[in-house]
Structure 1
């Protein structure tokens, strides 16, 4: 028997109802229309007449046909050709081994061997590093501002206020205090009006916020892109995404638990995106360590620099079938580094096709019918993401909710299985491709090392209680790291020119393997002196250091 209304405990009933409501909100079964986190992202997709008016132009912009059959036929042919090529090349590939485990065949891919560094590269790296002049981080920021004017991107909240005197000096001091995690008192000076503690506190509250950080960072990224040396490292079309973890020892709802990264404490992940020019062009603060694939598209769609990355690399935890599908729909290339090839599934379109040695790995068949049924809605989703009417993170949460809210999520995943298989077949065959992924991911990890060195105060722990404060402080950290990268690149170019004038042979292939992620010559500790000589403020450069002669180094090469 069910309890009657009189037998029902109202308090317990209410508690159970609220618990079920909370679970339904998290599973995206119920939505809160006015909530940023829990509203239905499908309501923000292009709808009705708006979609009908834009569908042709968006399809052309995405490079997709409105006819699902045309698209699927093309993908089927591409996948079949990739299998045909792979089945002939894999048997003779020494890096690939086929093993039997629990009655099933698995591909095992040998790890990449470390790429040997020629003696000439080692000498060049030493010579360049020794020529970089020592610099205080405080004056480095002022010097970079003199070069590109990034501090001018910060505006007052009212935007109608007359700029304060020596405002760039105050802004650089606030950015340094936040990036180094040392607080304003460490950079304040009572004898300099622009650096008094009340002035710095006022600037921090009224000028240094998300909009200014984004605009200033775009200025630094553009200045780096203008340097010939940076263009030699990459054109900005390739990027990587990875998370930098911070323990948060204060009480806050914006941090999460993860024993692997934070021990018994809570923390956040600063998920940031690094271009092939070593600059960071976007960052997202994530409570705890939520799955990276929820956020990986945001770096491409929401970043506001002039770079236009078309390919992004990530670790295994950033990949999923849905991500591959959305990347394919949007015309991007997704290139994750796989930790274990044996866990990956290869998918096929033609059930009875013979792919030789790959038959044992490709037993799963893609559901083309589901893709065809949902094709227009998939294009509508991609178009809405491209135009920014819906956020990528909101869409990802919805589509990956233990399946999907409708057939749309499954259809995107089915398309992703085709894209993922094309990627896998290329990944296992092409060592150059795998090494290119590794090189770009190492650039992101190198930026993390610089960021850790800069963020040295308070044991490297983030002590902001609110998400906005975390975003502003970590945004300042990314900005300062970009300033270091820009400063280093500029002086590395001068060092290379100096070596060439001295008669040293500088090979382009060695220059391409240099990195501006150096910080041993940058002083981030002690008293911070914000004075910049007039000649440096006018655009002149510091004199390079004069190391021991190049001949002494050449003599050490075996």
Structure 2
């Protein structure tokens, strides 16, 4: 629904000031159109028919008789037909006789192949809208979907009232079905109890339980963890964890939950009973799932904190031990030199000094850290005790789950020592500590072992919780085995992958052989070298010769473009793309609503908060901005608006000089955040707390996907997720190559990306990672033995091939996100057949990539160029958001997504505005015969921001674009049905 080609679908009038760009994109007359009109109509009728033709083709419904026709459209039609058009006209002035208008419209219907919808088509439309109503939460979105459905099937779009009535009917039907499903799962008395408890006061205080549940977690601390666990226990007391709604899409459930989150509790109580029941049930269910994820994340961070503190203490102790060791050496030397004592006495004294040295020397650093963890029993036991109520489940052979169950019994019995006569499944590194004769110390060791093991088990998926988004049973996230067996061929066809591993491996190994020969040739030609340690070295890329003309042209171009105020830029881009219509799911009703939307975008997408934006915008007050900010959290709208803007930017001819749209780069940009934000982490570079924004930047400079992530975690999952979701759309060029830095790849990621239809190309930072991995059966040219590692197991790939395809198909179909999938099958899952297959295949694919990277200088330069292009966009992003995320924002998942999406949209709007103005300038110069080469333009970029004033007073001149942005329905439509 964000497709730029469908921008005008469903409208019955046009803005008076239609741009030349829009005319060329939507309302252009072809040579065939001109010939058909000239053959069928006399000269004085051709202009009117041409206007009807281009409008009906672009909009799918007849033009309103009373709307003024854009001057630019009339000029274009006149030029195409070779006639002098009127400068001011309406359809009514062009057709004084209605019968003539009716006859011309009938001819146009036949010429364009349009038909009226019949009963069968109407039934199909109702079925389609009913299916769409399961995905969206707004009647306005259903209206847009209906218009697009009719347009794509060349059916004349119905009147707005008819479409809206159908949408309301389908929306109400879905709500009724959902209410029926809820009542089938939850008894009526349980629903009544939930409503009574939730709207009551929390612990006799001054706020309701609903407000308490809506309060997001605060800073990362034991107190926050305890409060989150208290909310989970409360929701489980209402039996929320037993509710299952498999037939209702998750995004639909989220939509109902967001409605409660964005509304005051008093307003929720005023809803009719059916609506209140639906929204409240899904709010409680989604809250439980999200809170469970938060608890597991917070407990994982707590484990990391305890391990890090033990590591620091171990280092301090070892430093102190080195001082003591030196003092002992001095004491031993003193004893050796003491001739006043006998040799036996001196040996005895030396023996006493070194009595405990032997045991300490046998301990590794990791063993010392484990020993230190056993000396921190209080916090370890407190964490494990608090997690006892979560009802973990797992595989029968998972040791950490067995230990957790045993500890639950020990805590229930209030034991302070580990029972001597009971065997426990202890991991080998912890066995010595747990076997300590001091059973109190043994219990502490077992607790530390269970704590560390539980975190790892959750990450690899061998332990899970049913009431969670990201930590459910691993097999539940994938396509069910029965469905996979039944639909395997269909999924393989979508992936474009063979059913047999050897069919995939044979051409891959042949390509690797060719690549190895290219590397050997490059080594002989001196383009690369291998040192004595077997490390491969590449010479630095030579910079392209600096040209003065492109730099002068760029400076002159932006000087001519001139400065712009941020509000003016937003308005102009909205007039070009109608992104506000996507964000609201309709056109804004009045100027205040539109300005509030812009202010909400700025409040989410920059460091300025709602109160400050309202102070900078004379038309608004803070409450209006806050309401609009909550509306922006609606699922999917910001992403669709971004897609519309990026597509508009890519339609310019100059964008094709920057790239084909088939390659992109991805990287994370950290936004400074308050340390009181529970999901903020310390940026290792700047040593400040920050939140991560992961973006995919197209080779044409637009940001095509964004997602908030946590710092200091692998970025391989987000890298794949962005490409998969972007490639989901069938009406755009698919990405075939993604460039990332070292942090954005792993061997399994290389494999999964290939199975999903694109190549992952990492710029490897460490020389040690530039090894070439091969199976033993593959021959290699001479001279490369030092950089070859022959440990790839083709048998492991064959063994795990089917499950690997199932994993890729599950990601492709959207059953599981790449982020979660790669966590479950990542390094924590070592030993799993799927992980081993992905790791071995990824080694082969990395070898093939490195062969191209080493031997092909042009390819290497392309990868660096794409990555640098992404960095230039990051500079613009920092200009848009240069401050800090405040502690009051970003605590909820939906709010963090809104911050990321709004920031991306504001960045894309600047890129699109620059591109549009650059194209206008280039066209103007070429019309005046001013020299400008395409090679110059290819070396410029639109990520320029020195001319944009992002701050100051925000004055939105909406009146200039009112006919393009506002829903002006004061005059009833009087178009003629055909």
Q: Normalising to structure 1: TM-score of the pair?
A: 0.87
The corresponding residue for 2:645 is: 220
Query: CA-atom RMSD, angstroms?
Result: 2.9
Shift of 1:131: 1.3
Correspondence for 1:99 among 514, 531, 540: 531
Alignment of 1:3-402 (within 5 A): 3=420, 19=451, 21-94=454-527, 96-101=528-533, 105-155=534-584, 164-166=589-591, 167-188=593-614, 195-261=620-686, 263=687, 265-303=688-726, 306=732, 308-351=734-777, 353-402=779-828
The corresponding residue for 1:446 is: 872
Identify unmatched segments of 5+ residues in structure 1: 540-558
- Larger Rg: 1 or 2? 2
Alignment of 1:454-469 (within 5 A): 454-457=880-883, 464-469=890-895
The corresponding residue for 2:163 is: none
Shift of 1:89: 3.1
Alignment of 1:506-521 (within 5 A): 506-521=932-947
Q: Distance in 2 between matches of 1:110 and 1:272?
A: 30
What SS is found at the alignment partner of 2:491? helix
What SS is found at the alignment partner of 1:260? coil
Shift of 1:64: 1.9
Q: Is the 8 A contact 1:29 1:405 kept in 2?
A: no
Q: Is the 8 A contact 1:248 1:462 kept in 2?
A: no
Greater share of strand: 1
Q: Distance in 2 between matches of 1:337 and 1:76?
A: 23
Q: Is the 8 A contact 2:800 2:833 kept in 1?
A: yes
Shift of 1:98: 1.7
What SS is found at the alignment partner of 1:365? coil
What SS is found at the alignment partner of 1:308? coil
Which shows bigger deviation, 24-33 or 461-470?
A: 461-470
Greater share of helix: 2
Shift of 1:433: 0.8
Shift of 1:332: 0.7
Q: Distance in 1 between matches of 2:856 and 2:666?
A: 22
CA change 1:348–1:533 in 2 (3 A) is same
Q: Distance in 1 between matches of 2:739 and 2:456?
A: 33
Aligned residues: 527
Higher relative contact order (CA 8 A, sep 6+): 1
Q: Is the 8 A contact 1:346 1:361 kept in 2?
A: yes
1:306-355 C-alpha deviation (Å, 9 max, x unpaired): 45212100111212111111112122111111223343220123446241
Which shows bigger deviation, 394-403 or 204-213?
A: 204-213
Q: Distance in 1 between matches of 2:959 and 2:629?
A: 25
The corresponding residue for 2:433 is: none
Identify unmatched segments of 5+ residues in structure 2: 1-417, 423-437, 966-978
CA change 1:4–1:314 in 2 (3 A) is same
Shift of 1:8: 8.9
Which shows bigger deviation, 510-519 or 350-359?
A: 350-359
What SS is found at the alignment partner of 2:569? helix
Q: Is the 8 A contact 1:143 1:532 kept in 2?
A: no
Shift of 1:197: 2.7
1:117-158 C-alpha deviation (Å, 9 max, x unpaired): 3122112111211111211111211110111100111237xx
Q: Distance in 2 between matches of 1:169 and 1:249?
A: 29
Which shows bigger deviation, 487-496 or 350-359?
A: 350-359
The corresponding residue for 1:481 is: 907
CA change 1:354–1:24 in 2 (3 A) is closer
Q: Distance in 2 between matches of 1:82 and 1:377?
A: 29
CA change 1:22–1:2 in 2 (3 A) is same
Q: Distance in 2 between matches of 1:333 and 1:432?
A: 17
1:100-124 C-alpha deviation (Å, 9 max, x unpaired): 12xxx22101121222231221121
Q: Distance in 1 between matches of 2:841 and 2:901?
A: 35
Q: Normalising to structure 2: TM-score of the pair?
A: 0.51
Shift of 1:365: 3.3
Q: Is the 8 A contact 1:171 1:208 kept in 2?
A: no
Q: Distance in 2 between matches of 1:502 and 1:127?
A: 15
CA change 1:352–1:448 in 2 (3 A) is closer
Q: Is the 8 A contact 1:246 1:462 kept in 2?
A: no
